[in-house]
Amino acid sequence: MQTPVLLAYGFRPFFLLTGIYAVVVVLGWMGFLFAGWPLPLGWSPFKWHSHEMLYGLVSAAIAGFLLTAVTNWTGSAPLRGRALLALVGLWLAGRVFMWLATWVPGWLVAAVDLSFLAFLTLYLLRVLLRFGNHRNLILAAVLAILWLGNLLMHMGFMTGTTAWLRIGEQLGFDLIILLMAVIAGRITPAFSANWLRLKGADPESVLRPAWVERTALISLAVLVPLDALGAPAVLVAVVVLVAAVSNAVRLGLWRGWLVRTEPLLWILHLAYAWIVAGLVLRFWVLSSGALPASLWQHTVGVGAIGILLLGVMTRVAMGHTGRALQLVKCGIWIYVAIIAAALLRVLTAAGILNFRVGLTLAALAWVLAFGLFVVLYWPILTSPRADGRPG
């Protein structure tokens, strides 16, 4: 029996689900805030919202990328067909149970939702070990700790322990920032150097000094145990500052301005700049004590995560379906909309824009960005490869 195109490669269903759920979860949240729509109220709505953004939405995008990348790293056959459908089903079941959490026992919601990251981690670990790809085992470790963060949030929901909710939420932010720094740190300079080579420019212009790379990633990794163990704010602030400076230097050495004419590349550099901005704002929040944590959280959540998700998905969708590496017609508006969403959300969190007006405009821009992605890339993600190859 022939494998359906949509189940031929992990990025196909999971990227579409990422786009669709990004629209659904934000529309649902806005309806709850301003129209009185019901959500799992017994589950601390604001933590429910952050859970679904971090452990629901982002986990689908992570799956789409890693299931695709691991075949390149190892030469293994992709997860496809019924096995891929089963993993998609686990993610969907987790989302359904999270939306019905008021009426479903907490232990059952947790068991279903936690199963997705558990199976994804085990699959990634199995493939990496089987093919001797030890370099990328760190990503399996990050996924495992991400599962632990999700578990802590569920324990907090079930017991009403706000400390577990807070730690689980912070672990989600820390680990996703680390994952973005690792993944974007590989593809952004590599893709930029390759593009410069094709254009007849010097690919050596893109610099990656080992000490900068190590400092940028290690400082982000150190934040994980510090936040989980409740380290003093002063110590956390120092590490955040080191992470902000080293990642800013890292980004600068990639010389993103050299690829400013290629949207599929400058969007990746811009997304990384939002990671740096989030770290700077977190240091400001920690050192001043006068600014809300939501300022840096939304800088990372809407800016870094939103922009990087769309930047990666729009590129991978073309490259892994045998098409030219270029934005589809009208695709630039995806980038315009998500950048607008990030700016509007940060201005709202900073108190510069009226909360209702700013949040509404940011949500509309977010929905437009991800809605456009689904509409424009649906034909690509559901059609066979343009070059006739499998996948």
Tell me the whole-structure pTM to 2 decimals: 0.96
Q: What is the helix, strand, coil percentage profile of the chain, to 5?
A: 80, 0, 20
Residue 2 lies in a domain: no
Structure tokens at 138: 């760190």
- pLDDT value at position 2? 80
Alpha carbon separation from 273 to 185, 231, 299, 382 (Å, rounded)? 12, 27, 10, 32
Two tokens, residue 247: 């990642």
Give me the pLDDT at residue 54, please: 96
255 and 327, same domain (yes or no)? yes
Residue 297 placed within a domain: yes
Q: Look up residue 300 and give its DSSP letter.
A: I
Q: How far apart are CA 114 and CA 127, in angstroms?
A: 21
203 & 104 share domain: no
> Do both 150 and 204 map to the same domain?
no
What local confidence, expressed as pLDDT, does residue 313 receive? 98
| SS3 state of residue 108 | helix
Same domain, 220 and 350: yes
**What count of Cα atoms within 13 Å lies in the side-chain half-sphere of residue 20?**
10
Predicted confidence pLDDT, tens digits, the chain (391 residues): 688 999 999 999 999 999 999 999 999 999 998 988 877 766 688 899 999 999 999 999 999 999 999 999 999 999 999 999 999 999 999 999 999 988 889 999 999 999 999 999 999 999 999 999 999 999 999 999 999 999 999 999 999 889 999 999 999 999 999 999 999 999 999 999 999 999 999 999 999 999 999 999 999 999 999 999 999 999 999 999 999 999 999 999 999 999 999 999 999 999 999 999 999 999 999 998 778 889 999 999 999 999 999 999 999 999 999 999 999 999 999 999 999 999 999 999 999 999 999 999 999 999 999 999 999 999 999 999 988 888 7
How many CB atoms sit inside 10 A of residue 318's CB?
20
Structure tokens at 296: 């840096």
* Ramachandran angles phi, psi of 255, nearest 5°: 55, 60
- Whole domain around residue 375: which residue ranges? 199-385
Going through 142-298 in order, the beta strands assigned E by DSSP cover none
Contact 274, 281 (CB under 8 A): no
Determine the pLDDT at residue 42.
64
Report yes or no on 340 lying in a domain: yes
Q: How many domains does the chain fold into?
A: 2
Q: Single out the residue in 160, 176, 191 at which a domain terminates.
A: 160
CA distance 159 to 156: 5
